[in-house]
Structure 1
């Protein structure tokens, strides 16, 4: 199985587990004399099985990510780099949105609001970082589709 397929299965399992959680909550209580729409014990058993499958799958994915080198760097390191860059870019984009927001004044006597940073140059830096992130993500995606999953 390719790593990309394992990642897809992981996402499906996570979605299924979330749905099982909702179904469990919906069947946690019933009016006296009534029966639940689904047996909570059956749902709990499904949840147990799905979590066991998810744990095994995540372990295989993690082993594969640690052992797979992309340009001499472990895939797990590239994933960490990507996640951190996404987070940093999100913060910078929100900051730039605030820094470039126009504040209208009705009279000359009102307080003038100005940006604390050079928005234009910072936006160029964010654009450069975004391009690097896209290129990094492309490398990761390519590895996902060409790498065989290491079984445990």
Structure 2
């Protein structure tokens, strides 16, 4: 099984657990004289089976991520960490540029001459260039991660 297939199975198992959780909660209590819509104990048992499968998948995925070498990006785990931090950095830089540019404010100028002019404390154009470079790096590393996911075999 390829790593990408395991990731898809993991996502499906997580969705299934959440669905089962919601069904257990809605069937956990019922009124006297009524019959519950579903057997909560059966649903819990099914959730337990799915959770065991999910745990196995997560262990194997993590083991694979730590072992697969992506060359200049390090291991797949290293690349995932780098991508996550780059996404956060992009968010910070973009927010800073937006704030400095006055995005979201009522206007860029003054309504009356008596109002004080607000000035940017940061170089907006430079921040936008930085954000573009970070976004490109995120895309490049994401493509490398996706390629690796489809090429790497899942470890036991």
Shorter-chain TM-score range: over 0.9
Runs of 4+ off more than 6 Å: none
String of CA shifts for 1:72-112, please: whole Å, max 9, x gaps: 51111111111111122123223322222254332111132
* 8 Å Cα contact 1:103/1:113 also seen in 2: no
In structure 1, the residue matched to 2:11 is 11
Q: Larger relative CO (CA 8 A, sep 6+): 1 or 2?
A: 1
In 2, the alpha carbon distance for the partners of 1:33 and 1:97 equals 60
Q: Which runs of 5+ in 1 are unaligned?
A: none
In 1, the alpha carbon distance for the partners of 2:36 and 2:124 equals 58
Q: Is 1:76 aligned to 2:77, yes or no?
A: yes
Aligned length: 151
* 8 Å Cα contact 1:69/1:75 also seen in 2: yes
Q: Is 1:149 aligned to 2:142, yes or no?
A: no
Q: Which runs of 5+ in 2 are unaligned?
A: none
* 8 Å Cα contact 1:20/1:43 also seen in 2: yes
* 8 Å Cα contact 2:68/2:76 also seen in 1: yes
* 8 Å Cα contact 1:65/1:76 also seen in 2: yes
Q: Is 1:116 aligned to 2:121, yes or no?
A: yes
RMSD: 1.3
Secondary structure of 1:69 counterpart? coil
